[in-house]
Amino acid sequence: MRLDPAPTDRPATGAVRPPCRLAGRQGRGRASGAVTLLAAACLGAGFLSAGTAPVRAGPIADAAAEAEKLAAEGRNREAFDALARAADTLWTAAPLELRKLLFVEGDPKGFGVYDPRPGTGFKAGEALRIYAEPFGFGHVREGDWYKIAFEIRIAVANPDGSEAIAPRAGSLQLKSRNPNREFMLHFAYVPKGLKPGGYLLLAEVKDTATGKIAQIRMPFQLQ
């Protein structure tokens, strides 16, 4: 994949791709950045987010009551399925959120399999590796497959909010035969041409299935 200076409106297509180095041309002497995006799902079951309609308690309470009744009858799998329907209601109505968002050491091995990085200081040329677990995204049905797809814009700002590195855009996707919710995003971003000091890593994560958007704002220091 290539990074473009602005997001594309073209839908993501194709099968799952391995992590790719995302790079674009920059003018001579300008700060720039290279990004690697990685998506993974467990095949089983400081952010801002766009708001969505609140969930009515009725369907959730009804599902909980049904689950309790089924469990009392020893029908545990059916009770679990009833609670899963309540979870579906909450998930669909929720805004896109990143319930975990942190800097990590090395590449995560999968959903929940990562080593947190102590501190937010980085050496020049070192990759900023971010692990995130999105919540509230959708799936696009393609035959027997369920597709998860995101469009991402990444930039770096000075502490006062002024632009340090212009936004770069990329996309990623994953297909599975199950509508997975245990899904991770991993960003490996290498800022270039910046002087030592404090900065803000800014990213916009858009779920292409629902149009929901989450904003990332993570301070870091270059030593």
Whether pLDDT at 69 is above 70:
yes
| Helix, coil or strand: residue 52 | coil
Predicted confidence band of residue 30 (pLDDT cuts 50, 70, 90): low
Whether pLDDT at 122 is above 90:
yes
Do residues 120 and 105 touch, judged by C-beta distance below 8 A? no
Whether pLDDT at 201 is above 90:
yes
Given this model, what pLDDT does residue 11 score? 33
What's the pTM?
0.74
* CB under 8 A, 24+ apart: contacts of 57-65: 59/86, 59/89, 60/86, 60/89, 60/90, 63/89
**Please, how many CA atoms are within 13 Å of residue 120, restricted to the half-sphere of its CB?**
13
